[in-house]
Amino acid sequence: MLGAFANAFRTPDLRRKLLFVLLIVVIFRLGSQIPAPGVNVANVQACFDATKNDGLYGLINLFSGGALLRLTIFALGIMPYITASIILQLLVVVIPRLETLKKEGQAGQTKITQYTRYLTLALAILQATGIVALARSGQLLQGCSKDLVYDKGLMTMLVMVITMTAGTAVIMWLGELITDRGIGNGMSILIFTQVVATFPANLWAVRVAKGWWVFTLILAIGLVLIAAVIFMEQGQRRIPVQYARRMVGRKMFGGSSTYIPLKVNQAGVIPVIFASSLLYLPAMAAQFAGNSKWSTFISTYLVKGDHPLYMALYAALIIFFTYFYVAITFNPEEVADNMKKYGGFIPGIRAGKPTEEYLNYVLSRITLPGSLYLALISLVPLVAIAIVGANQNFPFGGTSILIMVGVALDTVKQIESQLQQRNYEGFLR
């Protein structure tokens, strides 16, 4: 593996791409440390160190690498883009115009990408306005009475909103630069960077709070979890497809065999994000509703992640959203029609409707272990809260480990393919 890294850096164009990605990552992390105009850095740091602030903004803070609760120029991180991408994926199924664009190939995908950018900026404005309003009222860092901004005037708040929105636009640009001139998917690498940025501090916090024995045990369990996640992320069901031979003019086409890869975790980390976001809504409503019976119930059972009711509801939502997302992103009818159009068939299965039914059957069977796996991995930090008293930024489990392993595997595969094109030995021997 070290030899493969050496070979990668010996290749001039590949070395330039790797160094370019590292440069963008450094710029990205620097922007995540620069405070927005008007922010009282000393008070923000004091409040951040004194309070946990795990629940309500934990997911957004995770994707911003801890920059959100420090009110930096990249405070929103990549979250507006993730949300916009998910919304566009859902709307493609609902709106015929977007579905037509998706089928137009590269030109249609370019337009959908442009719509994603516009929606990202709109969401960034909304999120920045909400974050700045909470900082102005002192409710952003719960349990802190210090002023987070020097001036609570309208002009200062407007400048902060514009700065954070512009930061989101810059993040999008940096991600596209990595995709075009670097290696891997730019947005995924930026997400990976932000998640990894909080990992050492969260892991060391466990050592400080619980000592070396618990720290060593958690580290060992974490390595086992990483191995299990790699195993599941690589797992797939390969459905064989045979193409019949056909004459076009004087040439013979077809006669080849291939397969349809159906991953065990077909939905990725999206169901976890959906479930987390949905469970944040009642917590947010209870925060602004004052003292009432239902707000007390929500605060008792649906805010703290160590309650069994919260865990059960969280796991059920993940399983539901896994089936939901797979159903809207993989269309067995379209796959069966395309196979029939080009003379393809699954051995032993007739083309057309029987192929569609078979794909539906296999997909539903393989989605069940995938959904249970996502639910189990996502419950790891919640169980850690109950057992060792960790916070909700527990390093192993949930969205953090899924993102780290998934993006790392994808990036290594892309580097591996480029090394193989140059007749080098790859990372995996």
- Model confidence over 6-28: pLDDT tens digits? 666 777 778 888 889 899 999 99
Q: What is the DSSP string of 158-216?
A: HHHHHHHHHHHHHHHHHHHHHHHHSSS-HHHHHHHHHHHHHHHHHHHHHHHHH-HHHHH
Write out the CATH class of domain 198-422.
mainly alpha
Indicate if the pLDDT at residue 235 is higher than 70: yes
pLDDT at site 51: 55
Alpha-carbon span 164 to 98, nearest angstrom: 29
Token readout for 419 is: 């090394």
223, pLDDT greater than 80: yes
Range 9-12, long-range pairs (CB < 8 A, 24+ positions): 11/419, 11/422, 11/424
pLDDT value of position 118: 92
Query: Token pair for residue 290?
Result: 């004052």
Mean pLDDT over the full length of the chain = 79
- Which pLDDT does position 424 carry in this prediction? 47
pLDDT at 116 over 50: yes
pLDDT of res. 169: 93
Domain ranges of the chain: 32-182, 198-422
Query: For residues 374 and 70, what is the distance between their CA atoms, to the nearest angstrom?
Result: 30
Residue 344 reports pLDDT greater than 70: yes
Q: Reduced to 3 states, what is the DSSP secondary structure of residue 107?
A: helix
pLDDT, residue 426, reads 47
How do residues 365-402 score in pLDDT, each as one tens digit? 999 999 999 888 888 777 765 665 555 555 666 677 88
Tens of pLDDT, residues 252-265: 665 677 888 888 88
Helices (H), 211-307: 212-234, 270-289, 293-301
